[in-house]
């Protein structure tokens, strides 16, 4: 007689054994009694494990409820293991990928403190890569993240304790007949099967993937020598993790089997639960089927002719409404942008930001180089207002603002066209170890002055006050002469429009957000000045606003304040400058940075005063050495001071 897993679970609970002896399982579809799930993960009524639903920046985990013993108690050797699962990734837009999913071994059920987006719900920016994590993951990664050295946006990787894979390959499977690997698209929405096999004798981990219609290929995609003895603890949980970012994606697991010291049982592919869009087909008699088939074939031939014509049209289809005609902004045709970016080809991808993907392009007629930002957008109601704002922003002209050239619109998608900035974003120069050149002091000073003057224009010199809302190094772009220009102004408003007014959510980037903004949720020119101050310190120190390497999340501003108080202000300067700078200038900039990033709002200067300070037209106010003991990390204190 075969014992049912739920009964086994009961026995396990009753006897209080810490690790089960029953080290294999097979699930052709799931139900709640078998898995521990958290976050947005759920088990659908028909037995699918849905790790993420279509909600932005969320994570979901699912684990086999019972921890498994992974080491032999008598000799401490790691056991060999084998697993096999079927998954599907369904993005909302067929050609835009969200983040991927991972099979994991973890010491805990769940990952407290883990982050969403590129962190896949596994790690966060401070513990990523730390050997105390004891996490093994096989990632099915659908976004290329430079910070983790990803090879592309469609790969399978082996991760030990962090997201920088020890081995990775573009998703593909081996075909014995041809002796070649055939490519797979992870985000195709089609179910695919993955096998993970570890042999402790060989210390080798193999990962194999194939479409569900293809049996296990004879050659694995990845085969790596990894000694897991220091990674794996005596008992571990096995399961899955996934997260979403700004692009809506659902991650499904349809079936899963696992076996310790042996080959995981094959899944019964015909009894796996079906994915949502598959409609239940009713049982028809064979006669009806044949008649229907005849009709279908006839219709299909006619339809495919029509479909071909429609597809050609749909490829370039856009949305144009009457109200848009009143704006003077240039509206590009989608076809033009499609051609300019060679069909939004991967080679043309400049980067992926919080708002969407940015492509390089060249306008077919004028040969002007452009940067094209595709933003997927679901709110209809906010669109009109937002396009109005974009239109008025395109009237903004300043040499330190990235010029918006126009836009285009399709269903659920807004496309913005900007001038092309050949040197990319400033943060790459500050942090990307692969950039051979370091910015000199005079270049840094020029960039800071440029950004200050662009921001002054937005705040005071245009007909309307424009609050940027997201000043940071990655939003400062550099042209061929290394002039800094502010990009993405006003885009953060996209988050506001159409979202639930009940939910106050702060827009901006962690580390640049002024303390009062978290309380009031209102972005002002003064919160921009705060972010500018942080940005200034960032450029001088060459460090991120939240200093991850330092003890718990030290804020750059607090750190510079500390050095100022201790009279060692020059110690904060980016070591890569090699001492090649003007001490007077550096001190001036650091003090301006401190003034601007003062947690007390009333103490911050305006951008006009900042410009005057930079030009030497205004003398620097005395900055109290004691700094009044305030820190950015304690907004309550700052607020109390402000009120008094
Ligand atoms: C859930 O799983 C348990 C154990 O495998 C099984 O006994 C039970 O019938 C399942 N329930 C459903 C609704 O499938
Ligand atoms: C996703 O899951 C969360 C939490 O379970 C839920 O609040 C939300 O409504 C779900 N969203 C959708 C679109 O199903
Ligand atoms: C555990 O190690 C002991 C001693 O080397 C060995 O005799 C035993 O077979 C091992 N057990 C398993 C399950 O591998
Ligand atoms: C990162 O995760 C660890 C635990 O996994 C947690 O202790 C820490 O607070 C988290 N850090 C951040 C910045 O969220
Ligand atoms: C790794 O994590 C441990 C425990 O959380 C911590 O003490 C240690 O400093 C971390 N190491 C690094 C290099 O971050
Ligand atoms: C498969 O994908 C890789 C990486 O994306 C690419 O270099 C290769 O040309 C593709 N092969 C085929 C046959 O499409
Ligand atoms: C991994 O793949 C290699 C090459 O096909 C094979 O020789 C080895 O036996 C495999 N190991 C496991 C654990 O499947
Ligand atoms: C694997 O690592 C363990 C502990 O780190 C070490 O004792 C063992 O010798 C290693 N085995 C191999 C084959 O490298
Ligand atoms: C697989 O599932 C189908 C449908 O549930 C069932 O008819 C068949 O017997 C199963 N096959 C095996 C090998 O268990």
Residues 404 and 446 in one domain: no
Ligand that comes closest to the CA of residue 550: 5
* Cα–chain center distance at 611: 35
> Of the listed 470, 488, 558, 574, which one is catalytic?
470
Q: Annotated binding site for ATP: which residue ranges?
A: 373
User: Rounded to whole angstroms, how far apart are CA atoms 632 and 83?
Assistant: 48
Q: 230 CA to middle of ligand 8, Å? A: 8
497 pLDDT higher than 50: no
* 41 plus 148 within the same structural domain: yes
Region 42-53: mean pLDDT is: 92
Q: Which of 110, 124, 163, 546 to mutate to test the pocket of ligand 4 (most atoms within 8 A of CB)?
A: 124
**Domain of 169: which CATH number?**
2.60.120.200
pLDDT band at 411 (very low <50, low <70, confident <90, very high): confident
Q: Is the pLDDT of residue 223 over 90?
A: yes
Q: How many domains, the chain?
A: 3
Sign of CA dihedral 33, 39, 43, 45: positive
pLDDT number for residue 477? 93
CA of 395 to the centre of ligand 9 (A): 65
Q: Please report whether residue 61 resides in a domain.
A: yes
Q: From the CB of 75, is ligand 3 less than 6 Å away? A: yes
Give yes or no for residue 183 CB within 6 A of ligand 6: yes
Q: Enumerate residues lining ligand 7, CB below 6 A.
A: 197, 199, 204, 206, 219-220, 223
Which H or E run contains 417? strand 413-419
Cα(269) to centroid(ligand 9), Å: 8
Is residue 4 included in any domain, yes or no?
no
Please tell me the distance from the alpha carbon of residue 466 to that of residue 455, in angstroms, as a whole number.
9
With contact defined as beta carbons under 8 Å apart, do 511 and 546 qualify? yes
Asked, for residue 58, whether it belongs to a domain, the answer is yes
Taking the C-alpha atoms of residue 514 and residue 516, their distance in angstroms, rounded to an integer, is 6
Distance 434 CA to ligand 7 centre (A): 35
Query: Is the distance from the beta carbon of residue 271 to the nearest atom of ligand 9 less than 6 Å?
Result: yes
Query: Residue 196: what pLDDT?
Result: 97
Please give the number of the atom of ligand 5 that sits closest to the Cα of 549: 14
pLDDT at 414: 83
Count of all residues that appear for the chain in the document: 644
Question: Atom 5 in ligand 2: which residue has the minimum CA distance?
Answer: 40
- For residue 193, pLDDT over 90 is answered with yes
Give domain status of residue 309, yes or no. Answer: no
Name the residue at shortest CA distance from atom 10 of ligand 5.
130
Cβ(208)–Cβ(223) below 8 Å: no
Q: What is the arithmetic mean of pLDDT over 193-212?
A: 96
Q: Tell me the C-alpha distance between 157 and 155, whole Å.
A: 6
Residue that terminates a domain, selected from 419, 453, 477: 419
Listed residues 267, 282, 301: the one ending a domain: 267
* DSSP helix/strand/coil, 540: helix
Which atom of ligand 1 is least distant from the CA of 32? Answer: 1
* Residue 467: per-residue pLDDT: 85
Q: For residue 243, is it within any domain?
A: yes
Q: State the average pLDDT over residues 399-416.
A: 84
In this prediction, residue 363 carries a pLDDT of 84
**Binning pLDDT at 50, 70 and 90, where does residue 20 land?**
very low
Q: Note if 470 is an active site residue.
A: yes
Which of 169, 179, 183, 186 to mutate for ligand 6's pocket (most ligand atoms within 8 Å of CB)? 183
CATH number of the domain that 603 lies in? 1.10.510.10
Residue 275, pLDDT above cutoff 50: yes
Closest ligand (CA of 77) = 3
527, part of any domain:
yes
CA of 10 to the centre of ligand 3 (A): 27
Residue 166 and residue 41 share a domain: yes
Domain that holds residue 407: 316-419
Kindly report whether the global pTM for this prediction surpasses the value 0.85: no
Q: For ligand 5, atom 13, name the residue with the nearest CA.
A: 130
Q: Does 447 share its domain with 588?
A: yes
| Measured distance CA(540)–CA(590) in Å, rounded | 7
Mark whether 356 and 457 lie in a shared domain.
Answer: no
**Closest listed ligand to the CA of 80:** 7
Dist. CA 317–CA 289, nearest whole Å:
36
Atom 12 of ligand 9 has which residue's CA nearest to it?
A: 268
When mean pLDDT is compared over 58-67, 391-400, 496-505, 559-568, the highest value belongs to 58-67
β 476-478/404-410 pair status: unpaired
* Separation CA 178–CA 548 (nearest Å): 49
- Closest ligand 4 atom to residue 553 Cα is 13
327 and 185, same structural domain? no
Mark whether 516 and 397 lie in a shared domain. no
Q: Is the CB–ligand 2 distance for residue 248 below 6 Å?
A: no
Virtual CA dihedral for 30, 32, 36, 38, nearest 10 degrees?
100
Predicted local confidence at residue 105, as pLDDT = 96
Within this chain, do residues 218 and 324 fall inside the same structural domain, yes or no? Answer: no
Sheet strands (E) in 447-488: 476-478, 484-486
Which pLDDT score, from 0 to 100, does residue 9 have? 46
Cβ of 230 closer than 6 Å to ligand 8, yes or no, is: yes
Helix (H) or strand (E) holding 493: helix 493-496
Mutation choice for ligand 6 from 141, 144, 170, CB with most ligand atoms inside 8 A:
170
Is 297 part of any domain?
no
Pick the most confident of 320-334, 475-489, 500-514.
475-489
Domain boundary among 365, 397, 419: 419
The verdict on 246 and 113 lying in the same domain is: yes
Distance (Å, whole) CA 626 – CA 144: 45
130 lines ligand 5 (CB under 6 A): yes
The verdict on residue 12 lying in a domain is no
Is residue 419 within 8 Å of 358, Cβ to Cβ?
no
The pLDDT value given to residue 569: 84
Radius of gyration over every alpha carbon of the chain, rounded to an integer in angstroms = 28
Give CA–CA dist 226/136, Å, rounded: 11
What pLDDT does residue 463 have? 78
Tell me the CATH number at 327. Answer: 3.30.200.20
| Selection from 325, 323, 315 nearest residue 95 by Cα | 315
Which pLDDT belongs to residue 17? 41
pLDDT given for residue 500 in this prediction: 37
Q: Which ligand is nearest to the CA of 73?
A: 3
Are 375 and 488 in the same domain? Answer: no
Among 208-217, 293-302, 612-621, 623-632, the least confident range = 623-632
Q: Are residues 253 and 341 in the same domain?
A: no
Predicted pLDDT of residue 564: 85
Q: State in Å: Cα 538 to ligand 9 middle.
A: 61
Which helix H or strand E contains 596, and what residues bound it?
A: helix 583-596
Ligand 8 touching residue 227 (CB < 6 A): yes
Beta strands across the sheet bearing 404-410? 349-353, 356-362, 369-376, 413-419, 404-410
- Mean pLDDT to the nearest integer, 280-297: 59
CA–centroid distance, 260 to ligand 8, in Å, is: 20
- Residues 321 and 378 reside in one and the same domain: yes
Structure tokens at 363: 């306008």
């Amino acid at each position: 007689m075969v014992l049912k897993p739920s009964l086994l679970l009961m026995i396990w609970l009753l006897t209080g054994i810490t690790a089960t002896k029953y080290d294999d399982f097979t699930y052709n579809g799931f139900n709640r009694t078998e898995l521990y799930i958290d976050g947005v993960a759920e088990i659908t009524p028909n037995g699918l494990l849905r790790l993420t639903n279509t909600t932005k920046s969320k994570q979901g985990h699912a684990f086999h409820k019972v921890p498994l013993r992974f080491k032999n108690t008598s000799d401490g050797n790691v056991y060999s293991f084998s697993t096999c699962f079927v998954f599907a990734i369904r993005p909302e837009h067929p050609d835009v990928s969200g983040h991927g999913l991972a099979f994991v071994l973890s010491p805990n059920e769940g990952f407290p403190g883990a982050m969403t987006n590129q962190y896949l719900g596994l790690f966060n920016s401070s513990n990523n890569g730390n050997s105390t994590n004891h996490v093994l993951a096989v990632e099915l990664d659908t976004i290329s993240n430079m910070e983790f050295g990803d090879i592309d946006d469609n790969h399978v990787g082996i991760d030990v304790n962090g997201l920088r894979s020890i081995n990775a390959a573009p998703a593909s499977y081996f075909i014995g007949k041809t002796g070649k690997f055939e490519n797979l698209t992870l985000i195709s929405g089609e179910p695919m099967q993955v096998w993970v096999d570890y042999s402790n004798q060989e210390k080798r981990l193999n990962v194999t993937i194939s479409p569900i219609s293809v049996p296990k290929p004879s050659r694995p995609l990845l085969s790596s020598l990894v000694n897991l003895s220091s990674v794996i603890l005596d008992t571990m949980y096995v399961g899955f993790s996934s997260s979403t970012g700004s692009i809506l994606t659902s991650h499904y697991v349809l079936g899963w089997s696992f076996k310790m010291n042996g080959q995981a049982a094959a899944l019964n592919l015909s009894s796996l639960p079906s994915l949502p869009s598959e409609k239940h087909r009713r049982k028809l008699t064979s006669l009806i089927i044949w008649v229907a088939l005849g009709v279908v074939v006839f219709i299909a031939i006619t339809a495919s002719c029509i479909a071909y014509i429609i597809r050609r049209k749909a490829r370039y289809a856009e949305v144009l409404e009457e109200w848009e005609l009143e704006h003077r902004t240039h509206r590009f045709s989608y076809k033009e942008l499609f051609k300019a970016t060679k069909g939004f080809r991967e080679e043309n991808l400049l980067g992926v930001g919080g708002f969407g993907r940015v492509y390089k392009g060249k306008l077919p007629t004028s040969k002007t180089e452009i940067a094209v930002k595709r933003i997927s957008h679901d709110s209809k109601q906010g669109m009109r207002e937002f396009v109005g704002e974009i239109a008025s922003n395109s009237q903004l002209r300043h040499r330190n603002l990235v010029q918006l050239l126009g836009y285009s619109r399709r269903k659920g998608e807004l496309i913005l066209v900007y001038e092309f900035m050949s040197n990319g974003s400033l943060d790459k120069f500050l942090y990307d170890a692969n950039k051979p050149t370091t910015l000199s002091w005079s270049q840094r000073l020029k960039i800071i002055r440029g950004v200050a003057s662009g921001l002054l224009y937005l705040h005071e010199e245009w007909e309307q006050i424009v609050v940027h809302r997201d000043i940071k190094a990655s939003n400062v772009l550099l042209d061929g002469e290394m002039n800094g220009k502010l990009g993405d102004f006003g885009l953060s408003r996209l988050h506001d429009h159409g979202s639930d007014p009940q939910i106050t959510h702060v827009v901006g980037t962690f580390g640049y957000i002024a303390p009062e903004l978290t309380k009031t949720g209102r972005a002002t020119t003064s919160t921009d000045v705060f972010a500018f101050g942080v940005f200034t310190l960032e450029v001088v120190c060459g460090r991120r606003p939240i200093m991850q390497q330092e003890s718990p999340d030290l804020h750059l501003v607090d750190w510079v304040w500390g050095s100022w108080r201790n009279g060692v202000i020059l110690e904060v300067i980016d070591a890569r400058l090699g001492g090649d700078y003007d001490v007077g200038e550096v001190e001036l900039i650091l003090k301006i940075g401190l003034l601007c990033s003062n947690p007390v709002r009333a103490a911050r200067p305006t951008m006009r005063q900042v410009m005057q300070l930079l030009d030497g037209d205004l003398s620097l106010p005395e900055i109290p050495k004691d700094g009044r003991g305030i820190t950015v990390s304690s907004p309550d204190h700052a607020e109390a001071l402000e009120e008094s």
